[in-house]
């Protein structure tokens, strides 16, 4: 098959020229390629560059990338690869989303480790540009080919793979975390701060709060070490970490506050909130970047104080919290979840708050999640919790139809993301009201249970 493919581009060109009755000079004029160069390409005496391939493809009226797969076979598998042609090929394929072509070529090229250094640099470039799927292919190939199994570059590859592999599936994320964690020690010491932060975030999304607390403590220790190290240096080096160092200590305390909240230790959560706000107050002459971070943490502190008080049963601050949310729209989903949760726990009527955000909740319900991103994975969990708590709230008010409707919304997302623990909670709550569900709701529920594949859970 490959033997046939290596001539396909030339065969296509020659066939096109015959059908269009084009002489070589005329086709040269159309493509903008020198007639001598074009002749050498067609005779197989000269390799074709990516730019020339695109010029020819365009002149033939074909979409860009039409010949890329064949070009990859001809130039990098059946012929000795040359970086001058391979690099632009990777960039063009990545830009067009031709991932299969990248995979095919890279698998062959990395066999002899000839271009491992260059491929890593391209992977980093793809990562920075947001070409995540293409970057993942390169990182995995480089990691597989890395000779020195304790190298910093291997660790960085594993870090990038960890970031790119995260999905909405809890078990997949746990596997990714367990696989990556041993590589943290091999990373640059500043990058370790980002890695620990990201790892703690992931453990939070799968509710392993003891692990989050452990990593938060580790983040504080490593940040303090870096601060001390920098104070001893005569000359400040270029920052490698994604954020200023003080941010990591503040974020670690924010994580500890989150853990305390999950443990229902709300006074302790308020103490940690005071700590990270005090860190922000201690920054003198902040840069524009630092001031933006200071404002962000102070905003979180304000909102979280309202939240912790409400979760403690103090609903006197609810209206002030709602005013805060009117300015901080990005926090509405998680805030509504906890407000409804607290209302369920303390049997407090929050209809006015739900009416205030009715349109927003409807919009949340119809939006779909995107797989593969940490924030979306966390948002997916909040979505499930929000509609589960709304279901409990409406069912407690004897608004059965609306309550079951919210419950089915939550269960549907549980099933699609394989969140079995929340599936069980939804199924248990539905069981208490199944006799009062409408015919349509019963049908929806049965379809979801069938999709879940657990025959014992039936309506």
> Does a structural domain hold residue 307?
yes
> Does a structural domain hold residue 96?
no
pLDDT tens by residue, 174-200: 888 999 999 999 999 999 999 999 999
Q: Quote the pLDDT of residue 377.
A: 63
Using CA atoms in the order 91, 97, 102, 103, what is the torsion angle rounded to 10 degrees? 150
The residue segments making up the domain with residue 201 are 188-233+240-312
Q: Give yes or no for a contact between 143 and 161, defined as CB atoms under 8 angstroms apart.
A: yes
Quickly count: other Cβ atoms within 10 Å of residue 153's Cβ.
Answer: 15
Average pLDDT of span 351-375: 74
> Does a structural domain hold residue 89?
no
DSSP per-residue codes, 12-60: HHHHHHHHTT--HHHHHHHHT--HHHHHHHHTTSSPPPHHHHHHHHHHT
Average pLDDT of span 233-249: 88
> Does a structural domain hold residue 258?
yes
Alpha carbons 199 and 173: distance in angstroms, whole number: 10
How many domains does the chain divide into?
A: 1
pLDDT greater at residue 393 or residue 453: 393
pLDDT tens by residue, 244-260: 999 999 999 999 999 99
Alpha carbons 98 and 103: distance in angstroms, whole number: 9
> Does a structural domain hold residue 381?
no
> Does a structural domain hold residue 286?
yes
**pLDDT(438) > 50:** yes
Quickly count: other Cβ atoms within 10 Å of residue 355's Cβ.
Answer: 9
**pLDDT(234) > 90:** no
pLDDT tens by residue, 278-324: 999 999 999 999 999 999 999 999 999 999 999 999 999 999 999 99
pLDDT tens by residue, 121-146: 999 999 999 999 999 999 999 998 88
Q: Give yes or no for a contact between 333 and 364, defined as CB atoms under 8 angstroms apart.
A: yes
Q: Give yes or no for a contact between 258 and 210, defined as CB atoms under 8 angstroms apart.
A: no
Average pLDDT of span 157-175: 82
pLDDT tens by residue, 38-72: 999 988 888 899 999 999 999 999 999 999 999 99
> For residue 290, what is the domain's CATH number?
1.25.40
Q: For residue 19, count CB atoms less than 10 angstroms from its CB and return exposed for 0-12, middle for 13-18, buried for 19 or more.
A: exposed
Q: Quote the pLDDT of residue 369.
A: 42
Q: Quote the pLDDT of residue 373.
A: 39
> Does a structural domain hold residue 272?
yes
From 194, 119, 185, select the one nearest 155 (Cα to Cα): 185
Q: Give yes or no for a contact between 193 and 216, defined as CB atoms under 8 angstroms apart.
A: no
> Does a structural domain hold residue 109?
no
**pLDDT(170) > 80:** no
């Amino acid at each position: 098959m490959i033997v046939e493919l290596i001539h396909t581009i030339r065969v296509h060109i020659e066939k096109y020229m015959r059908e269009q009755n084009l002489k070589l000079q005329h086709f040269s004029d159309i493509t903008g390629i020198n007639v001598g160069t074009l002749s050498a390409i067609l005779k197989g005496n000269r390799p074709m560059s990516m730019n020339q391939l695109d010029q020819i493809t365009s002149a033939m009226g074909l979409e860009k990338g039409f010949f890329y797969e064949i070009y990859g076979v001809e130039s990098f598998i059946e012929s000795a690869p040359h970086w001058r042609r391979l690099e632009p090929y990777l960039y063009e394929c990545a830009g067009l989303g031709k991932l299969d072509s990248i995979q095919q070529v890279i698998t062959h090229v990395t066999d002899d480790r000839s271009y491992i250094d260059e491929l890593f640099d391209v992977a980093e470039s793809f990562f920075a540009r947001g070409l995540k799927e293409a970057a993942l292919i390169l990182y995995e190939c480089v990691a597989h080919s890395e000779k020195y199994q304790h190298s910093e570059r291997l660790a960085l590859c594993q870090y990038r793979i960890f970031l790119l592999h995260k999905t909405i599936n809890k078990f997949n994320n746990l596997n990714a975390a367990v696989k990556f964690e041993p590589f943290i020690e091999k990373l640059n010491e500043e990058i370790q701060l980002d890695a620990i932060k990201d790892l703690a975030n992931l453990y939070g999304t799968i509710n392993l709060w003891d692990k989050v607390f452990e990593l938060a403590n580790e983040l504080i220790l490593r940040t303090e070490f870096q601060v001390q190290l920098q104070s001893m240096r005569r000359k400040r080096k270029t920052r490698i970490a994604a954020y200023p160092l003080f941010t990591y200590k503040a974020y670690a305390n924010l994580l500890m506050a989150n853990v305390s909240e999950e443990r229902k230790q709300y006074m302790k959560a308020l103490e940690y909130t005071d700590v990270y706000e005090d860190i922000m107050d201690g920054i003198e002459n902040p840069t524009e970047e630092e001031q933006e971070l200071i404002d962000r943490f102070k905003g979180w502190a304000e909102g979280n104080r309202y939240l912790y008080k409400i979760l403690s049963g103090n609903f006197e601050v609810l209206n002030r919290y709602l005013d805060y949310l009117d300015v901080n729209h990005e926090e509405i989903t998680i805030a509504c979840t906890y407000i409804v949760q607290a209302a369920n726990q303390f049997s407090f009527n929050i209809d006015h708050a739900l009416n205030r955000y009715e349109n927003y909740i409807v919009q949340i319900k119809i939006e779909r999640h995107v797989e593969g991103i940490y924030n979306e994975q966390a948002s997916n969990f909040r979505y499930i919790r929000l509609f589960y708590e709304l279901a409990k709230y409406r069912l407690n008010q004897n608004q059965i139809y609306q309550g079951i409707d919210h419950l089915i919304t939550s269960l549907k997302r549980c099933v699609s993301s394989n969140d079995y623990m929340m599936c069980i909670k939804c199924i248990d709550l539905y069981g208490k009201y199944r006799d009062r569900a409408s015919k349509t709701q019963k049908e929806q529920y049965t379809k979801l249970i069938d999709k879940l594949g657990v025959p014992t859970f039936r309506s």
